Amino acid sequence: MITSTAFATKLPLSVNTQAPHSGLSGVFAAAVVNQNFCEMLLNNPEEALKQGYLGKTFTLSQEDASLIISLNAKSLTDLAKQVVQTLGK
């Protein structure tokens, strides 16, 4: 059984759970295939999103970018879990 866990965000955040969040898949794909990008995403998400991956920037809504920046995750799995929990509300 999967249970909900509490997490602290760095910023106040309001997420529209009805909006499409297709840009997030590119962020997670880059983090899966590149360890350096993954570490930057976890340690300095604002800079990771700003730099993009392999010369391409991510097409994220301001809401999705704010979500990624606001979370405090220790691993990519933890980050994905927190994103899903937040978007699932």
How many domains does the structure of the chain reveal? Answer: 1
- In the prediction, which pLDDT does 17 show? 44
Domain holding 36, by residue range, is: 23-87
pLDDT of residue 23: 86
In this prediction, residue 87 carries a pLDDT of: 87
What pTM value is reported for the model? 0.75
Q: Has residue 4 been placed in a domain?
A: no
Residue stretches of the chain with pLDDT short of 50: 1-9, 11-19
Residue 16 lies in a domain: no
SS3 of the chain: CCCCCCCCCCCCCCCCCCCCCCHHHHHHHHHHHCHHHHHHHHHCHHHHHHHCECCECCCCCHHHHHHHHHCCCCCHHHHHHHHHHHHCC
| Rounded Cα–Cα distance for residues 47 and 8 (Å) | 20
Residue 61 lies in a domain: yes
pLDDT at position 22 is: 73
Instruction: Quote the pLDDT of residue 88.
Output: 84
